[in-house]
Amino acid sequence: MTVRIKDVALAAGVSVATVSRALGDGPVSDELRKKVEAAVAATGYLPNLSARRLRSQHSHTIGLIVSDIRNPFFTAVSRAVEDAAYAVGMRVILCNTDENPQKEAMYLRLMQEERVTGVIFAPTRATAQKLDPQQLGFPVVLIDRAAPPGHADAVVLDNAEAASLLVEHLLAQGYQRIGGLFGNTSTTGAERYAGVLAAMQRHGLQAEARFIAPTPEAAEQAMRAWLAEPAVPQALIASNGLVLLGMLRGARAAGIAIPQQLALAGFDNDNWTELAGPGLTVIEQPVYDIGRTAMKMLLERLEDPARSARKVVLSGRLVVRGSTSA
């Protein structure tokens, strides 16, 4: 039989209203709250969360919307967000958009329907440009990607600095013709390309770049096509870990030795990067700090909804391995 709130009240020896207040963080004594909680455990009662949300207008739930859950970067960020949310008594709803603006819009509507407390979001460039948290009805903190200044709080990597670290390392190793594959759906790929381009131009050099969907499949296909051309750069940079994986697959399919025939580097210090071939040179992002900081900023926004939007920029670390040996 379904256990009703009346059954809990009977077991606890209190009124239904007292049970409702105790379960909804209402004004009851600690003694009564413990008595109700014991009755809930004894009867196996499951509260109607949907009804409670309708009454309180507050769900104690955080929405986490990421672009590709296959990407270990977002897996690690998700863990940090969930850890921080759990510590303050909140739950997390995780959604995956596949870099699709239509799916992003669908999940933002879902967050409104679920009456979430706030959302942590990695949007496509198209969605970031028009994002308005005030119209959504809940605070938003962006991760990995940024909206136009003043639109929303954000936690991002210093992409220009990180890209410059990769370029300067490759130049120091003797590579002059440097190119890369960059994701075409987010501000992140564009910023990393701009960082590579600026670093190369400081040395009077040009960067060769191609823009693709940021997936292993697209990267492998683009890599195969590039390596089939007569003139190939001496070194290539991948704009994220999934792109780096696809590029490595493409190089292996073409029989290209890393680094003897081509140097390869990228972003994201995923576990597999130290095991692939001679080990891949990468930028390590502070992924846990990104997730934890995003949750902290969301809580601060809830405390002070009127404050100006902030952008927190974190630094990456260059991890040098055999794929970029001189």
| Strand order from edge to edge, sheet including 311-314 | 91-96, 61-66, 118-121, 140-143, 153-157, 311-314
Q: What is the CA radius of gyration of the chain?
A: 24
Looking at residue 54, its pLDDT comes to 44
Picking from 213, 193, 196, 194, the residue whose alpha carbon sits closest to that of residue 205 is 196
Cα-Cα-Cα-Cα dihedral of 120, 59, 96, 190, to 10°? -20
CA 11 to chain centre: 45
Question: CATH class for domain 159-286+318-324?
Answer: alpha beta
Per-residue pLDDT, 57: 53
pLDDT given at position 315: 97
Peptide linkage before 72 cis (omega within 30 of 0): no
Domain 5-47: give its CATH code.
1.10.260.40
Q: Where are the domains of the chain?
A: 5-47, 59-157+287-315, 159-286+318-324
Query: What pLDDT was estimated at residue 32?
Result: 85
Provide the 3-class DSSP secondary structure of residue 264.
Answer: strand
pLDDT value of residue 265: 98
- Listed in sequence order, the residues at least 6 apart from 49 whose beta carbon sits closer than 8 Å to its beta carbon are 59
Check for a shared fold between 59-157+287-315 and 159-286+318-324.
yes
Q: The whole model's pTM is what?
A: 0.80
Model pLDDT, residue 314: 97
The helix (run of H) or strand (run of E) holding residue 152 is none
Give the CATH number of domain 59-157+287-315; options: 3.40.50.2300, 3.50.90.10, 2.60.40.420, 3.30.420.40.
Answer: 3.40.50.2300
pLDDT at res. 31: 86
Mean pLDDT in consecutive groups of 10 residues from the start of the chain, 326 residues: 82 86 77 88 74 56 95 95 93 96 96 93 94 91 91 95 97 97 94 97 96 96 96 96 97 96 97 95 97 96 91 97 95
Give the per-residue pLDDT at 256. Answer: 96
Quick one: DSSP state of residue 180?
Answer: E
